[in-house]
Structure 1
């Protein structure tokens, strides 16, 4: 196997990974919405759903910003603020799932 890598393929794979992750967040929101609608809305259910929706919107913004950065000819490394934002979205998503399950 050759040691040289295609510099154009890595940003594209990373861009696609951001899109897949954003889609996964959207699926979580839809599943939480379905659960709240089917089982009736409790205060915890609505709190979990609103947290999941806000988390998805923030992650959508972070992901789109990173995708735009990857469109450059020589994309820069991910900014620490974006990495922190993505990590906080992950924690908030897990928290919303926990609130919804209680």
Structure 2
């Protein structure tokens, strides 16, 4: 029986997760900047949610264990920023 050749798939997966982690960390820093500048709690909560997602990717990598936590935290951060935008539009 021949051994399965994984090819470059594991390397591509690792690179994709590292890009995702970098993007989340950058987004968390931008939300943190907004929180420091405006003192807006929506930005602070979004910073926390994106930080949780980035840390989950950092510690779990490409395993299936952390994917629901990552999805939940990103959806929550997006919802918080949407509520913040609606609050600014209504004011």
Give the distance between the partners of 1:83 and 1:48, measured in 2 at CA: 18
Alignment equivalent of 2:60, drawn from 35, 54, 62: 62
Structure 1 length as normaliser, TM-score? Answer: 0.60
Going from structure 1 to structure 2, the CA distance change for 1:42 and 1:83 (only over 3 Å counts) comes to closer
* Deviation digits for residues 16-52 of structure 1 (CA, Å, limit 9, x no counterpart): 00000000100100111121223x2133332332333
TM normalised by structure 2 equals 0.65
Specify the alignment match of 1:34 in structure 2.
33
**CA deviation string 1:55-94 (max 9, x = no partner):** 332333232xx2xxxxxxxxxxx53x33323322332332
Q: Which stretches of structure 1, 4 residues or longer, exceed 6 Å deviation after superposition?
A: none
Which residue pairs with 1:75 in the alignment? none
Larger relative contact order (C-alpha < 8 A, sep ≥ 6)?
A: 1
Report the equivalent of 2:69.
85
Count of matched residue positions in the alignment of Structure 1 and Structure 2: 82
Q: Which runs of 5 or more structure 2 residues have no equivalent in the other structure?
A: none
Q: How far has the Cα of 1:97 moved from its partner?
A: 2.9
Q: Runs of 5+ in structure 1 lacking a partner?
A: 1-5, 67-77
Q: Superposition RMSD on alpha carbons, in Å?
A: 2.5
Partner of 2:19: 20
